[in-house]
Each structure stands twice: as structure tokens, then as C-alpha cells.
Structure 1
């Protein structure tokens, strides 16, 4: 940790005045008229004011020197990171022609009286491709595809699977075109023949063919067919790799329905469902959006024709999506209002000028302040000057054709909150984010940089201690909510094994509840941390990066309310307290998340519930270990132990409130 800056003088204005009056009385006892209206006191206060200002400036000298040293060492502030979310655009009706949503389409949250709208911009183009159903195949487990499209067109009831459906039976639907990233609607006229299944959780999986990954699972947005048992629609979100392929002698964009093992305790099909008619169309699409506003065609001034010139963007901080596109006129007399790209040269952003040659059109960007710097000219030991990077022609106009500004934690919004279309796009009825936006991180402060610098200098890009692993992993994934490094169990992982636990950032739904799937880090996040640490770990050290073990806990409590308290309000308040106190991200005694490996005792829950407004008495508290995936609960206990790499996850609490009579 950085040493605190010394406070050279802690005296202030009034202390200077009091000291002056005391010294005057000692040196000149005959002067007694020292009230606030005396002219002498006015002079004393004027001198005291100047002394106070001088002390203030002197006290800032150590901090200024500290920051200057950090700057010499190359320590700069980390810029903010922009939150990202998958945004789904819904069409007002199926369209016969493709609908294009260009990159940079802006959407936002709703604006309220107390909160400004949070603006997001799409990072890629999205094309909603129209399609229709052209083929229908059935394939029994281990068999070959059978074409049933003509039979269905003839009015026959086509069995979707074998007479007694088995795991692996397939119903394949061929589309007239591949529909990557689109919202696909399958309109199915089914009969109530597939009896024996729970229509809310049928043993079916919908998949689409991807050229890179093969059959990939589709997210089911809605299924009103009850497992192909009644007429209705199946709304699917098709993955981005969907492509045309040949199956059963037919080329199409294939989507299939596959029979799987039913969930624990649920029945399977006793008879195959049938399909009398089917159709397909697209009704929307999904694209990634970043918390950023796009700035276009911003003039930054003219080149001075000297090395090391700096210009500043009008909006900061700058995010990486969309990337900054900087252009400089080829000649000083180029017309700024000419055709886009005519007479303009594009320059490339680099991290530093160490490898830049004199003719390279390079620049550096300070994303925190928005400052752009061109290559310097450095005098060499032999007295010659070496130019790092090209110098723009004198008088040439400099412009930022496009860049994004924004970022920060404000972009981590809950699901279904991005609902406003700011760009004018025809045929779009509504927009929504099906999952919460995540990844937004505020920019680093000066105090945080001062604390980080000694650790960076000590580690020197090497992961040796547990603190080194945590700091380096934090640098690789600043959007992670929590990171911890533990020595792995030698019996399981062998000697010299290190385990890094990563808890992703998660935004609770409305009501303050986290879902279990939000706490599972994605593959891209784990791969990024693993690759970054793998290059910096000592030889012979085994590295494992993954999520902690989440131990679900269900609290069953009985409370007595005061006579004037509303029982339902007391119950809601008690549930809020339980979920907040046991939250793996913001819970615990200090609000920094439940500690890794810390056990839970019933007495802590008693104390937390007793502070709920309206609670007179906490009668009983039972702790049940629970499985968040299956929902099963264990036997009641007064204490729940956790392993060193485990975290608590609050799950399905039950609170009973007894009203006073």
C-alpha cells in the first residue's frame, strides 16, 4: 500500500488569527482593543488568510510529486469499461424483405424524474432475414431422415417422433434461408397425442445447425404448444452461426427438435405428438449493444506540423466500441466539406510509440481524458533526433470520424429495462434486453492508482503470491465482481496448484433478487483470465480458473409482528433483509459480499431479522442447505459449513409472520 502523503501543517485560518492575538498580547501588553471591528484585527486576518493559502499549497506538494513519480513510471489511470447487453428488436409484423439495423443504432432505458436515460448503441449490423418452411423431416433415434413435408401438405397428421418416443428422436424443419441472430417463430398445428409429459417442461430441446459448432441449442422464448400437444407457436432465438446445410438430400437452414431425458421426477412421452400443419417466419433479431453514445464527424483543429502535438476530444471518457476512427487531411488546403474519405488519411491508434517508424501514421489515446498525442521526436545519445511516428502536415485538419463515449457502472442495468428505440428504424415495434447488461466498470481514481502502483512494481508482471494472482486477474477482467486466489487441495490437484475463483458481475432483477445462472462466469471471461495469468505464472505452477462452489441456503423463519404492523409488509421486509444479508456480491456484515468459506450461523440470521421494522420477536430460524439447480433442500440445521472455495447463495426463503392479537 502506498505511504500516506505527509501533512506539513494542519493549522487553519482561525488558528493563525488566535496565535497572532496571543503573540501580540505577549509583545505589546498595552494593546487591549482587539475586537473584530478593530483595524489591527483586520490586518491580522488578512495576513492569516495569506498564510492559510500558502499552507494549503505546500501541503499539496507531496501529492503532486507522488503523481509525477507515478507518471514517470508509466502508471496511468485505467479508463472505464462499457457495459454490454444483447438487445432484441421485434418487428411489427413479418416482412417480405430483409430489415437492416446498422451498427450504431441507439436504444436506451426509460427516463424518469430522478434518473437520466442510459444509452446503448449496437456494435454490429443486424439483418432480420425473412424465411419460410420448405422441408419437414422425421428421424428416429439411430435411423435415417424421412421426408414428411408432402404428407403434411396433403392434410395428413405427421407423427413427430417414433410411435413410442425415445431419447434421440428428431423432428427436423428446413427453412428457405439461414436466419442467424434472428427471432424465429414456428407456427405448428399439433394434436393432443403426445400424452404423458408436463406441458410446462416437456423433454424437448430445440437446436439449429451452425457451420462452426454443429448443432447448437436455441433459446426458447415461448412455447404455446405445450410440448407439441396443441396448436400454437414456438419462438426461438437462433444462434449467430446458423447457416445453410444439406440434410436428407435437401439444402436448407435446418432447425430441429430433439427428445431428451426428462428432468428428475417428470414423465416422458407415452405416445408421439403429431403435426398437421406448420409454418415459419422471422419476427425480429438480437444484436450486442454497448453502453456508449456514438459521436460522428468531430473536428479537433489543425496540425501545427511539430512532433508531439496533442489534441483533445470533446467527449470523454472514450470506450472501445465503436472504435475511434481518426482521420487527417492529406494537405493543408483540403476542403473539410468534401466527399467522405476523399482527401483524408486514416491514422492508427497504438499503445505507445516504441515500435513506430517515422513514416507510420500512429497516435496514442488516453481513454480517460480523451487526449490524442502524436509521435514525439527524441534526441539520441549521438545528438541526432529520432522521430517516433509520423508528424501530420502543418495546417492539415484533424477530425474524429467516429468514436464512442460512455461506460461505467451506470450501464449495468437490469433485464427488460432497455425499452426505448432512439434511432428511427422502420418496422420495429419494440426493443428489450432479455438479460441484464454487465461489464460496466467505472474509471480508476487517482487514489486507486496510488494504491495499485506499489503492487505493480513489486509484482513486475509476475504472479508469485496470492495477492499477485488476484491483482493480475483483476487487470485482465476489471468487470468481475469478486476475485480470490486460494491454494488448491494437494490431494486433488497435486503440488504447486493455484486456484483462482471468479465471480462475475450480476445485476439483480427488479425486486433485488439474483438468479443462480447470473453468477456463473462465461467461457470468454474465464479464458481471458486464464490466458493472462498463464503467461505470468512461474514454471511448474498448475493454474485452475473457475467459479466458486455455490452453497444454496434456505432460511425458514417464524416472526411475531407488533400490533400496529402490517403482516405482509413485515414479511416482505424480512425477505429483503435475508436476500441482502446472504448476497454473495453485496451481503455480509460489511456489505462487500459473503466471505469465501465463512460458515453461516442461525444466530446471525436472528440478529438480522430482529432489525426488520415491525418485528417484535424472532421466534424460530431454521437453516436448510439447498441445491439451486434442482430446488432440493436438506435437513434443518443451526449452522451451515462452507469449504474454503465456497460462497453462500440465498435460495427460496420462507418467512411466516404471526400477527399480534
Structure 2
């Protein structure tokens, strides 16, 4: 970003003096420089005009800065709500919590983000069994101390067992949350909506101990998996599944004190780049966000057929007040009446029936068949169920329009409303009709691009107002003697206050005896972005590549692959795996990207899922004419044999020399301030001489020879090791012989 110059850096007197000093050089015949001279008057006039122009040019107001940001496609972001995982315990029977169930952390209100079935079971034991060991990590799970899900090496055939005090309910959707350890030096690529889904390099299978053939209790049966946001335990997330038949209790070592009901996760295909470490496994858990919903809208597609019904699982839909809307053939919305029985309706009556299931906490909307009640017309998103709180019944009406241009209406102050959650409607009565029809209006940042027919409004969160257009830039709402402007959807929340500590989300009043808590702090809450922060974000986004053209573009985009920890990337243009004599020989329109995942191994190896995820991500950014190849790094083992002459008191420093060689010949940075060995860089004997010679006590290096193991390298006559461009090196078992200077 170019620095902003100070344009208003000269005053009137300075400009006049500079102009008068230049007169003898430019016009020697001009000798009268007194103030009565017309030329001096013109100089003073031009200096005054220049000073005024510089003053205004140097002033960039906040409004101007917002317009400049808009030209770049940027607007300050709204406040973001904090999110946390909450777990429920103490249930005596099954309980369904619909989406939007309120929770409390002191004075902060949270709402669940999904509908969850709570089952009356408790997680009692967590076991990990591998080929060589078996461990009970129940205490680790309670204390949130990380443990390996399949052992440090995560080999095929390892098992993770979850033991419950009672059988999980059959044919019931059950959710288990897994919080994985993620405090590694390399961060996970940020995931946004619409990004490429992550593909795991490993594969797990879930089973439960149930009754097999002839009533055998030790038969492991597959569970019916509904969703797995953990992606085979590659990241924190939720597993949703169903138990298909009766569970049977069994005793498993080392928790064989009594029989329990077990669910088993088996590693069927290994290949994790980073062996998963679990911090917490939680049954009956769901995500919750710091927010308060006053009114929400659920839309449905109409088939145009008789006897249509729609179902929704939502806290407001079950406990709040309701309005039903259907869009007519002209595109206007009409309120339909909610009746007790559809049989009481005439064929042309706009009526529907609302039914609620107290066990499942669901709300069902039923429409007529053309004989008892009109049929909603066919179309996408043409039926709406609006649910709102009783307190918001009156507050949802903003006011009545006077039909004047530029009208402003004040809404409740002191609340941080989310502009993205707003849905505003304006109503009017068509000529010859007694019913009010409603139209949706869209929120915009300003009216710059609004036409005279656009139903737009501007929400000012600082002033707590909404403003309408003037019939030139934005349509003016039609005049009405009664309130005809209302909110259909409105939500408040966001800010850093929602980032509460762990254990503070405890308020839950739906059922007595049920406890709720958040095992980990709520994170992600942000205040609304200021103009200064938005300008800084513009600088960062302008520097971020969005199209993969150069090698640096490919490396930056690959390293930011969502959901992955990419430690190192090397883009090799005009190269295809298997080529020889590169870069003398080049392959047109080819790009090879070599990736190294973050790992605790000395030789991090990217699995097939890791490579496929990066390739899919790069495919969205590459040029159509470029053929892309994503490959793992090749590792060449380097073993150094050296004879070193030392000072007598440093004769036994072989360990120090080998340590320095390992630090030099490493593929990854291990906290030493260097990235690691450069891709494709030749291992010269001079590198080894230089490292050893810098060690304290070394007199000189008498002899060095280097051995290498791997594929694709060659050794020249001087003893240097030339490695391919996609390769890195790692240390073998170096052999160092030290000789005292006095022994020569």
C-alpha cells in the first residue's frame, strides 16, 4: 500500500514568497514587485486558490474512506458471535432440544445452533488399544488432558473404545463431540463457507457391541452413521449416528471391573499426517452461539399439491407466537390464518393448521386440499412460518410510513442487532381489497446503486435507525394510517463479551435435574469492525493471491488450504514428475506442487487425502491451461562420516558435532529459527565443513565423505549429493571420529 502524502504542506505566505523569488529568473524585465502591481495581485490570488485546493484535497473524510472501500468491494464487517460446545448431563429420560434453545452464561445469552437428541446415558470409560499396549484414559478425558486416539503412531488396527453406563437408545439420532488438541506451531488453514471439503488420508469405522447371531453378546455391529464433521477424527467436530439394534454389555480390559455398553472406533486405514490427540469426548453435546433471536423465518417449497405439510424443529417455532405467509402469483406475501381445524375452511379461505409434537418438540404446518382451505401455489420458498417471542409481538412493528422521501425510523437502542439477520417487510392495501399484502425489503450499505424502484433501506447500527429512499435512489414505502413496516427476522448478539471462560454456560431451565456446561471457552466473538480495521484488512487481502499464476501464488494458496496444517510448499513450474535434466528440459503448461504436512515425525509424509484436498483447492485458483500435479516430498537420507581434529580439552565433543549435523540436515524447522533444508538443494561437502568448523574446539576437519539413501539422487566426483527438485534431506546415523591435536 502506497503511503498517503500530505498535500497541505505549504501555507499562503510561503507560496507567495517562493513565487516572488522566482520572478528575476523567469521574467528579468519584471522590476516592480510592490503590492500595487497587478502581477503581484495575481500571484497572491493564485496562491490563495492553491492553498484552498490543497486544503480540500488533503481532507479525506470518513464518508470518503467508506466510498473508497466500497470501490474495492469491502465494507466493515458486523459483530461476530462467540461459539462454544455445550454438553448436557443428568438426564433420566430422552429429551429433544430444538435449535435455538436458550442457555445462559451469567448475563450472556447463548442459543443452540442445531437440534439435538439427549439420551439418558453417561460416558464412563475411554480406552485406547493398539497392537502393543492398552490404556485407560478416562481421567485424561475428564481433566481435558490430551491423549492419542490410536496411539502415537496411529497404526492400522488400533481401537478407541467409549464405554457407557447404560445402553444407547435404538433408532435415535445420537451426537458425540470430539475436541482434538490443536495448539501446534502450524495453524490450520481458515475455513469459510463454500470452501473445498477436507479429505482424510486415514479411514475409521464405527461399531457397537450388540447381539449377533444366536444371541452372542460380543458381536461388533456397524452403526448407522448420519454425519461426521470430524472427517475420520482428523479435526474437532461432531459424530451423529444411530444404533440399529439392542446393545449388549461386555467387559473390556483394562476396564474389566464390570460390564459396560461400548462403542468402538477402529482405524481401518492408517495415513494420518498428524496422529489425532483427543482433549475431550462429550456425549449429548451441541454447539451454541452467543445471540438472542427475537423473530425467525423458516421457508418451505410448495409443490402446489393438496394436503401439503411442513415440519420444523426450532425453539421459537415450538414456544413462540406464529404468523404464516404464502407468496401469491404476483410475488406479494399474504398472511394466512391459523385455524384449529381445516374442515371448517371454505375452498378460497387462506387458512392453515398448526400442530405440535411435545415429545419431539417439532411444529408441523398443514394446508388444505382446495375443498377445505386454499392450496398454496407451486414454487420455491413460497411458504413461510414466522415465529417470534411474545415480548416481540408489538416491537416487531417499526411504524407506519407517511409516504414521504427519506423517512427515518428509530428502532430499539442499546442492542447490537445483526444486519445479516434482518428481514424487513412493508405492507399496503391494493385497491379494491381489504387484506394487506407485504413485500420484502433489502438492507444495503447506502443508496448509491439503488434505483427508484428498488425496495432498499439502510440500517445505521450506531444511531439505531433505519432509513428509506427518496423515490430517486431507493423506493419510498407507501403511505399507511397504521403500522405497515415490520421485522420478520431479527437477531441480536456478537462481540468479545461472548468469549466466556469454560464452565460458565450453566443456565438451563427447560428440565429439572439436567446440567449443562461448556468444557472449553467460547471463542470467535468479535466486535463490529471499525473503519481503521477495515482498511488494514484491505491491505492484507490485496496482498493475498486469489489466482494461481506464479510459483509464489501456488505456494501461498496451497499453504492456506482450509482445514490442513501445511508446513512447507514448493512450486516447481514447467516440471512433471519423472523428467530428467530439469531445468534444462522443461514441460510446457505444467506445474508441480510439492507439499509437506506438519507432523511430529522426522519425515512428514502427505497422504492421499491430504494431496487430494490441496489439489482440489488449487484447482479453484489455477489457470485453465495449466496442468497441475500435487505430490509429496521425497526424502533423502544423508549420513556423514567425518574425521575431526580437536583441541585436547574438547576431544570428546562427538555428540555436539552430530547434533549440529542433525540441525543442518533436517526437513522441518524444529524451533531453531530456520525453515529446514531447501527443496532440491545439493548437499555440498563444503556445507559440512562449514558447520563443523564453527564448533568451539575444532582445529580443522581432516576428512569428510557423505553417503545417501533414497531415490532420484546422484553423487558426483567431488562427493557432493545432488537431489531432485522435489526432495528434502534428513539425517542418518552420522559417524564422527575426533582426534586430539596432541595425538597427531
Query: Structure 2 length normalisation: TM-score?
Result: 0.37
